[in-house]
């Protein structure tokens, strides 16, 4: 009996997965498919497929493709067409899909790992495992990592809603942004149980999900955790994720497609991995119950009375000190300067003179202030950030309230004139100078779902909360 295995999914996400509407539907965009591999004694047969209106897999027809050679990505048009691409970059088409070029005549440094059509369907990008980008038709080249030495290969690409930017994700969770794609966080430099295998952007383009091979889901920006397959205990590897109208769908090697938030399994394979874990609070980051998971609240029973008092004292003192900074202009007036990271949705202002003074954790000399950058470009003061003196390390940070007040540092920021101009790779900056920061601690002036001392990224540095309910990452 042939074992049907979903070996690969296209990891290049469209705006939303809308179902295969007709060509005249103005809201229609190309949709992501999967590549099934039927294994038999006669060899592997590669079958491009897509999720149909009935929620089940439907086979796609490609001109000249009879099951070989291997395919690494498949997409459908808004009509009855389809694209698929091989590791060599040979683009197959079917139905009303247009052929705008490919890389099969080029000598590639690394194999193609995916493709993404433009929202018009009149062009597409191909991406290689080294992050090399090849643009065809009305797809515009906006940059690549082809000339950068990567820690791990690129495994996923997603395009922004405008079509004027894209993200590239590596298997270690590192993320690279191009065009109008904004950085909202990544898993780069953090421990993973299994490597990242896919990503999907939110419809707004202000966030994205990443999925690991064990089904763990990681959220960034306005991406909301809808569920994962990591807690099911399955040993079947996940190969990627594709978007659906309400969230994302996880695809594993045995042909199971598990949609979240519905939690329904839409094709064969093993049993459904998870139920909808969001309930009425799907749009909220879900923190663990008090006493479980990371310590993110002063009310946590694991916080001692002494720790609680120290944490509250720090919050109260910081609020008094932050009265001097009601807006961005007040920071400039006080000698603070932006490090140039507003595109991430947060902008850090630093008073460099205060870093080199003798004061630490002093509300009269707060080294950094963080502003939230709204979608319309307006900014509001959100957090104080204390930065310890140069020479301090994570091994000798002040003890304030134990695990509740967790410091963090950065060891890969490249600075030029006080502005972050890039990230170091293997300790080397392509531009600017590497600056390993002293430890630092946020104190939020606005409510934060992961506590008053949380890091910028809810799944990143500092105090974090369990946005991945049922996930053991």
Tokens coding 30: 């190309």
The domain limits of the chain are 3-281, 305-444
Q: Is 64 left (phi over 0), alpha (psi -120 to 50) or beta?
A: left
Strand 440-444 and strand 154-159: the pairing is unpaired
- Average per-residue pLDDT in the chain? 80
> Does 240 score more than 70 pLDDT?
yes
More confident position, 473 or 189:
189
Give the pLDDT confidence score for residue 169 in this predicted structure: 93
Lowest mean pLDDT: which of 154-163, 184-193, 420-429?
420-429
What is the H or E stretch that residue 329 is in? helix 328-333
- CA distances to 219, 357, 445 from 398, rounded to whole Å, are 30, 17, 21
When pLDDT is cut at 50, 70 and 90, the band that residue 242 belongs to is confident
Give the pLDDT confidence score for residue 19 in this predicted structure: 36
- Using alpha carbons, select from 408, 417, 422 the residue that is nearest to residue 341: 422
Give the pLDDT confidence score for residue 381 in this predicted structure: 95
Q: Convert the pLDDT of each residue in 21-67 to its tens digit.
A: 343 344 578 888 878 777 778 788 888 888 777 666 788 889 999 88
Query: How many CB atoms neighbour CB 186 within 10 A?
Result: 26
When pLDDT is cut at 50, 70 and 90, the band that residue 289 belongs to is low
When pLDDT is cut at 50, 70 and 90, the band that residue 464 belongs to is very low
Give the pLDDT confidence score for residue 282 in this predicted structure: 37
Query: How many CB atoms neighbour CB 370 within 10 A?
Result: 18
Mean pLDDT score, 432-453: 88
- For the whole model, what pTM was predicted? 0.54
- Using alpha carbons, select from 250, 378, 209, 384 the residue that is nearest to residue 314: 384
Q: Which long-range contacts (CB under 8 A, 24 or more apart) does 166-175 make?
A: 166/116, 166/125, 166/133, 166/142, 167/199, 167/201, 167/208, 168/127, 168/131, 168/144, 169/11, 169/196, 169/198, 169/199, 169/210, 170/131, 170/196, 171/195, 171/196, 171/197, 172/196, 173/210, 173/218, 174/150
- The domain made up of 3-281 has a fold known as Methylamine Dehydrogenase; Chain H (2.130.10)
When pLDDT is cut at 50, 70 and 90, the band that residue 417 belongs to is confident
> Does 312 score more than 90 pLDDT?
yes
Q: Is 338 left (phi over 0), alpha (psi -120 to 50) or beta?
A: beta
Which ranges of 358-452 would DSSP assign to H, the alpha helix? none
């Amino acid at each position: 009996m042939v074992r049907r295995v979903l070996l690969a999914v296209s990891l290049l996400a469209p705006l939303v997965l809308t179902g295969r509407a007709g060509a005249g539907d103005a809201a229609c965009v190309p949709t992501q498919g999967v590549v099934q591999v039927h294994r038999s004694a006669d060899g592997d047969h590669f079958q491009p497929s897509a999720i149909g209106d009935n929620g089940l897999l439907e086979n796609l027809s490609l001109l000249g493709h009879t099951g070989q050679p291997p395919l690494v990505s498949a997409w459908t048009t808004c009509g009855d067409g389809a694209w698929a691409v091989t590791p060599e970059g040979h683009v197959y088409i079917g139905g009303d899909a247009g052929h705008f070029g490919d890389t099969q005549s080029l000598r590639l440094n690394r194999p193609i790992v995916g493709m993404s059509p433009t929202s018009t369907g009149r062009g597409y990008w191909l991406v290689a495992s080294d992050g090399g980008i090849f643009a065809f038709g009305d797809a515009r080249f906006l940059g690549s990592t082809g000339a950068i030495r990567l820690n791990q290969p690129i495994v996923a690409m997603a395009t922004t809603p405008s079509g004027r930017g894209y993200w590239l994700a590596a298997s270690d969770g590192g993320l690279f942004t191009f065009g109008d794609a904004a950085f909202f966080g990544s898993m780069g430099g953090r421990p993973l149980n299994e490597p990242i295998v896919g990503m999907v952007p939110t419809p707004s383009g202000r966030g994205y999900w990443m999925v690991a091979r064990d089904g763990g889901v990681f959220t960034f920006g306005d991406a909301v955790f809808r569920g994962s397959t990591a807690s099911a205990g399955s040993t079947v590897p996940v190969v990627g994720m594709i978007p659906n109208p309400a969230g994302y769908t996880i695809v594993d090697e045995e042909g199971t497609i598990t949609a979240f938030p519905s939690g329904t399994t839409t094709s064969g394979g093993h049993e459904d991995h998870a139920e909808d874990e969001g309930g009425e609070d799907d749009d909220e980051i879900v923190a663990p119950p008090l006493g479980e998971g990371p310590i993110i609240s002063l009310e946590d029973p694991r916080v001692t009375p002494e720790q609680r008092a120290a944490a509250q004292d720090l919050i109260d003192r910081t609020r008094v000190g932050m009265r001097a900074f009601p807006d961005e202009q007040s920071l400039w007036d006080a000698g603070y300067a932006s490090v140039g990271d507003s595109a991430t949705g947060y902008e850090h202002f630093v008073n460099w003179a205060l870093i080199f003074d003798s004061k630490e954790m002093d509300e009269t000399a707060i080294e950094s202030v963080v502003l939230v950058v709204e979608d319309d470009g307006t900014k509001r003061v959100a957090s104080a950030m204390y930065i310890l003196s140069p020479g301090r390390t994570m091994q000798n940070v002040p003890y304030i309230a134990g695990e509740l007040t967790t410091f963090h540092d950065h060891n890969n920021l490249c600075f030029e004139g006080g502005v972050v101009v890039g990230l170091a790779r293997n300790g080397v900056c392509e531009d600017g100078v590497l600056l390993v920061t002293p430890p630092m601690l946020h104190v939020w002036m606005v409510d934060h779902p992961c506590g008053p001392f949380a890091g910028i990224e809810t799944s990143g540095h500092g105090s974090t909360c369990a946005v991945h309910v049922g996930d053991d990452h």
